[in-house]
A and B are shown apart, each in its own frame.
Chain A
Amino acid sequence: MRKISLPSGRSRNNLLTHAILILICLITMVPIATTILISFKSQPDITRYPPVLFPCDTPEKTFDLSACRWSVEGYMRVLAPKPSDESPLGFILTGNLLRVYLPNTLLYATASALCVVILAGMSGYAFSRYRFRGRKALLTAILAITGVPLLTNLLALYQMAVNLRKSPLPFDDRIFLIVVYIGFFLPLSVWIAKGFFDAIPRELEEAAFIDGCSPIGALTRITMPLAMPGMSAIFLLTFVNVWNEFLAGYLLVSKNEYKPAMFGLYDFLGQNLINLQVIAAACILIAMPIVVLFLFTRRTFLKAMVEGAIKG
């Protein structure tokens, strides 16, 4: 794969390219940077008109680094620490966001991602290694379903949840939500998994068969270890998608204590219309884990994204 190079004035062009790209990166970062800035302001600096970018002005000067009034008030109000004797740190965090909503999101994201990896691994392997009747039709059907958004099916899923709640069957909002997430992120993952298995040479497995290995043995000893990077990419992608999903978590869960973090955030907006620093702090706290996860796994993540984007 050759990169495009243009013949004349290459080094000056490159410098220009870098300059434009850095500028674009900076512009991209503006909304994020302002949010971080707002999250560290105190209430009096938030409710000022006209607003100031940095809370660093004094009556004499517009900007004085030593006079900056940074504050963690927003974070304190989100986390609501209370002194406690039982905790080794001397305090416990009582904010609903951290105590209720984030653990829920973590549960939904981890459970859905694990199930998606297992199911997509199984069917991706089958689609990649076996030729059977209806294979192509099934693959195309799954590819088509990949594009179907959650939104249009949500109405029916909501009614299903209402009916199931009334029925004598044991029903749990959390399990239902996880099943919905699995169903929605599975099709894309099946395609990604198939792509990853296609890239593993069959000859390796065949050599194992010849040496007397059973199909299951070949799968667990040869193919699975080689497929691990692909599987972890699927896990990451599903994890992030579920973490960021809003509407299903908002509508399909009836009990407040089972609602996910995105609902908590939306709820926060209603309670803190002018306490911008509280909203900003909550945004940062919820986006942070995902951004950090992305930065550490960007190679795997982007690979899965490209793989999935081409298909879906």
Chain B
Amino acid sequence: MQHTKPPRKPLRFLRNSLPFWLILPTVIFLFVVQVYPALYTVWLSLQERQPSGWTFVGLKNFDRLFNMSIFGESAGHTIIFLVSHVILTMVGAFIIAFLLSRKIRFTGFYITVLFIPWIIAQIIVGLVFRLLVAPDYGLLAGLLQNPDLFPPNGLSVLTASRPLPWFGEFPFPPSPAMILLIIASTWRAIPFVTLLLLGAIEMVPGEVLESAMIDGASLWQSIRYIMIPLILPTIIVSILSLTLNAMNGVGLIFSLTDGGPGTSTNILSFTLYTIGWGQLQFGRAAALALIMAVINWILIAGILRNNSSEGETN
């Protein structure tokens, strides 16, 4: 759409330069807080802190990072955490979104109630779940620490160490604390994805599903072969943004497990914090931040591609 010619001449200069002045402050803010720090991180990842100041060490930081045992371990934790978190959230959110998309009353009420977890801060969600399993005094501790239900000694979620890994170094099966972390983060993330999926499901014309059912397709078949292909772009965007959020969320771990017991809930985002601010190895931490930023950018590119295929960017 072309904008109409300004009615009077003196206004033309103002009208022509106005968008520039309107956008300039935003660009300055984004440059100072987003672009410059990103470049700074690249610089930092090539430096090492010496008593005399920062010195250039090339790619040594990356080399040292890869040699830290915590790096490989927490990469494993991250994979377990992300895969189970994404699967659980997608399944749960799809079921809820499907139910909400049916022709029923009170959907507004249900959405309001179901949405509450998403607006509660990560730190608080962590504490809320911690209260349930706190050793001895948590509400579920009586159940979990019962030796009859969880032989031989009962299960103390926040202190039980990781079971022996099945596949070499890969930290599987996860520790009970990791399972709790997955449950807590899924509880918080489901509403967000539900809303995304609900929007997409409501766009699916009802007639398509109805005619499939009349032709003898089962409910499962019509979901699997008709609805899911139709909302696939939204599903992909949901999975990508869910991964993006979960990979970088750290508040939940702080208040729920603090990375423990041992290092069994150290996912990469938490490891970034411990290397940087715990061990004050800022060079190595910057190297890790850079690796994570690259993964983030791949996810963002995926989201952008799927969104623009829907014709969002105009």
Contact = CB atoms under 8 A, between A and B. Distances in A.
Interface of A: 1-7, 10, 13-14, 17-18, 20-21, 24-25, 28-29, 31-32, 34-35, 37-38, 46-51, 53, 119-120, 122-123, 125-127, 129-132, 136, 138-140, 142-145, 147-160, 179-180, 182-184, 186-187, 190, 202, 206, 209-210, 212, 214-215, 240, 243-247, 251, 262, 265-266, 269, 273-274, 276, 279-280, 283, 286-287, 290-291, 294-295, 298, 302, 305-306, 309-312
B210 A149 contact: no
Contacts of B100: 21
Given A32-B128, A265-B255, A17 B134 contact: no
B232 interface: no
Contacts of A306: 195-196, 199
Nearest to A136: B313
B32 A183 contact: yes
Contacts of A152: 38, 41, 248, 272, 289-290, 292-293, 296
Given A32-B128, A119-B25, A130-B3, A298 B115 contact: yes
Chain B: number of interface residues, binned into ranges: 35 or more
A5 B255 contact: no
A187 B11 CA distance: 30
Interface string B108-136: 00111111110111111101111110101
A2 B6 CA distance: 42
Contact of B276 (A130, A155, A286): A155
A179 B25 CA distance: 12
Contacts of A214: 11
14 contacts: A3-B102, A6-B102, A6-B219, A28-B117, A29-B116, A34-B128, A50-B141, A51-B141, A123-B26, A131-B1, A145-B30, A155-B41, A179-B29, A179-B33
Given A25-B110, A51-B139, A184 B34 contact: yes
Contact of A290 (B11, B120, B273): B120
A47 B219 CA distance: 50
B274 interface: no
Q: Which 7 A-B pairs have the closest CB atoms?
A: A183-B33, A50-B142, A244-B121, A149-B248, A156-B37, A156-B40, A147-B300
Contact of B44 (A159, A244, A265, A298): A159
Nearest to B250: A247
A1 to B, nearest CB: 5
Contact of B116 (A148, A247, A291, A311): A291
A159 B131 contact: no
A131 B2 contact: yes
Contacts of A24: 96, 99, 114
Given A35-B128, A147-B296, A6 B213 contact: yes
A130 B18 contact: yes
Interface stretch (B69-77, B78-86, B165-173, B200-208): B200-208
Interface in B1-51: 1-4, 6-7, 11, 14-15, 18-20, 22-23, 25-27, 29-30, 32-34, 36-38, 40-41, 44
B312 interface: yes
B244 to A, nearest CB: 6
B263 interface: no
B22 A262 contact: no
A2 B205 CA distance: 7
Contact of B127 (A5, A155, A279): A279
A188 to B, nearest CB: 12
Contacts of B187: 28, 31
A310 B292 contact: no
Nearest to B219: A6
A302 B195 contact: yes
A44 B301 CA distance: 54
A266 B304 contact: no
A35 B2 CA distance: 56
A119 B26 contact: yes
Nearest to A157: B37
Interface of B: 1-4, 6-7, 11, 14-15, 18-20, 22-23, 25-27, 29-30, 32-34, 36-38, 40-41, 44, 96, 99-104, 106, 110-117, 119-125, 127-132, 134, 136-139, 141-142, 145, 187, 192, 195-196, 199, 201-207, 209-210, 213-214, 219, 237, 241, 244-245, 247-248, 250-251, 254-255, 269, 272-273, 276-277, 282, 285-286, 289-290, 292-293, 296-297, 299-301, 303-304, 307, 312-313
A206 B34 contact: no
B139 A53 contact: yes
A147 B248 CA distance: 11
B111 to A, nearest CB: 7
Contact of A31 (B129, B142, B255): B129
A184 B33 contact: yes
A34 B44 contact: no
A157 B33 contact: yes
Contact of B213 (A7, A37, A244, A266): A7
Given A158-B277, A302-B195, 10 more contacts: A4-B101, A28-B117, A35-B128, A127-B23, A154-B289, A245-B121, A276-B131, A287-B124, A291-B116, A298-B112
